[in-house]
Chain A
Amino acid sequence: MGRTVKLTVNGQEVSREVEPRLLLVHFIREDLNLTGTHIGCDTTSCGACTINMDGKAVKSCTIFAVQADGRSIETIEGMAQNGLHPLQEGFWEKHGLQCGYCTPGMIMCANAFLKENPQPTEEEIRWAISGNLCRCTGYVKIVEAIQYAANKIQAQAAQPSETKEVVA
């Protein structure tokens, strides 16, 4: 009873036959071998499996792969382009992780959030990541990492570099 799904994953088209009950997180990890997206709980509570689907941060453990047909998803593997993404750099610079298990979910959540709200306050950041659990850091360093990324993205936008494409 397979169904063919076609979707864009980190900018690349993929097409696979899947069983309807296959959860998107299992599709990402097992069919696509993108194991950066983690599974932390069985209750839609922890956010370790957070990805972006059509630009929105969602829990990939609570979506069937068939629902992603025709959609565009982004996982942690799609973040680093020419070097680390500012969010990845922020987590590195600000020590936004200890064990690192929640980090891909945190980054994907923050990625969608910063696109909607590029200059957030600390409170807004805390609100945005309230569905992502971290049991190591106490969140302070994670918030700083996201602030770092927000500032860096702003600075990059303000300062045109050679690599930046000009869109007419």
Chain B
Amino acid sequence: MIPGKFEYFAPSSVKEAIGLLDRYGEDAKILAGGQSLIPAMRFRLAQPEILVDINRIEGLDYIRELDDYLAIGAMTREASLEKSALISQRYPLLADTAKVIADPLVRNMATVGGNLAHADPANDHPATMLAYDATLVAEGPDGDTIIGIDDFFLGLFETSLAKDQILKEIRLPKPGPGSGGAYLKIERKVGDYAVVGVAIQLTVENGTVTAARIGLTNVAGAPMRAKNAEAALIGNAPTGDILEKAGQAAAAECEPWSDLRGSEEYKRDMVRIVTKRAIRKAVERVGA
């Protein structure tokens, strides 16, 4: 299928790109990895009149650990995350996630910024970034804005980014002592979107969970945190009973629907089970 007609721009700087977005407003769309946008254009679900291709802008593709946080450029491809030794050693939740996004061919193009900006609850990074308590940096005509991940996802395909803002960087807190994380996803086949996915990042001190954030994939109209499940964990030792409580809380607070990937009931039960398994894996990693 052939996309509708559009005019194409390939700016070489963020400023130039923002100028174009500013000028064309609602008619323009950013093209990053294109792995969500181009399929949507082929089905004519998206018919932008202007495409602003940001692939020619230098300096948006990097993974750097700074004093306070890990900085990831928005145009960093999934394949780079997957192959990064730093990420596999120190950010296991992110490493788990990058490996199960789509397939290796898609991951050579798909970007982490595009994955978040698309705000598809079926995408895997939103849950992961919610669990990490990530901070996003976006640039617009008035300069940079810092956005906490809890304020970023507004609904299905909807974020707090303005039409003329470009997501530039994702910042993850550096893992402190006693921290661990994991992402687990049930998929029908390799490369498919999640039936359910659970991201967890937690801290265990002297046997007690002192901090925990849990994100859920594809079980609500927008990316969501499982706050009741977090509350069930925090302040307790991660025993079998507590894990069951957290799993049940997550199953109750998510809002899945029945579709080709399973009935609502099935998905809720999978959320319960996968939440327990993800917590167990994250706790195991605390020691490692």
A47 to chain B, nearest CB (A): 6
Contacts known (A19-B5, A67-B55, A131-B102); A62 close to B38, Cβ less than 8 A: yes
Tell me the number of A-to-B contacts counted with CB atoms below 8 Å.
79
6 contacts between A and B (CB under 8 A): A20-B7, A21-B2, A21-B41, A50-B105, A62-B35, A131-B103
Q: Mark B1-15, 1 if CB is under 8 A from A, else 0.
A: 111111110100000
Residues of chain A having any CB pair with chain B under 8 Å: 1, 3, 19-21, 23, 26, 42-45, 47, 50, 56-59, 62-64, 66-67, 69, 109, 113, 127-128, 130-132
- Residues of chain B within 8 A of A20, CB atoms compared: 5-8, 51
Q: B55 near A132 (CB under 8 angstroms)?
A: no
Bound-complex Cα distance A78 to B248 (A) = 56
Please provide the chain B residues from 77 to 128 with a CB less than 8 Å away from any CB of chain A in the complex.
Answer: 79, 102-106, 108-109
Shortest Cβ-Cβ A-B pairs, 10 listed: A131-B103, A20-B8, A131-B105, A130-B190, A56-B108, A62-B38, A21-B3, A44-B39, A42-B1, A59-B105
Is B109's CB under 8 angstroms from A63's CB? Answer: yes
B56 to chain A, nearest CB (A): 9
- Whether A21 lies near B39 (C-beta < 8 A) is no
Is B133's beta carbon under 8 Å from chain A?
A: no
Q: Is the CB of B8 within 8 A of A64?
A: yes
- The reply to whether A63 and B38 form a contact with Cβ atoms under 8 Å apart is yes
Which one, B6, B104, B109, contacts A62 given CB within 8 A? B109
Instruction: Please report the C-alpha to C-alpha distance between residue A44 and residue B103 in the assembled complex, in whole angstroms.
Output: 10
